[in-house]
Amino acid sequence: MTSLERFSLSGKRAIVTGASRGIGRAIALGFAEAGADVALVSRKLEGLRGVAKEIEERTAQRALPIACHVGRAEDVNRMVDEVLREWGAIDILVNNAGTNPVMGPLAEMDPAAWDKIMDINLKGPYLASARVIRAMIERGEGGKIINISSAASLDPAPMLGAYSVSKAALNHLTRTLAKECGHANICVNAIAPGLIETQFAAALISNPAIHQSVVRGTPLGRHGQPDEIVGTALLLASSGSDFMTGQVVVVDGGARM
Q: Give me the active site residues, please.
A: 163
Spatial strand order of the sheet with 63-67 comes to 63-67, 37-42, 13-17, 92-95, 143-148, 186-193, 248-251
List the one residue out of 56, 78, 60, 57 whose CA is nearest residue 11. 60
- Helices 111-118 and 161-181 cross at an angle (nearest 10°) of 30
On whether the CB atoms of residues 175 and 147 are closer than 8 A, the answer is no
* 64, 32 Cβ separation under 8 angstroms: no
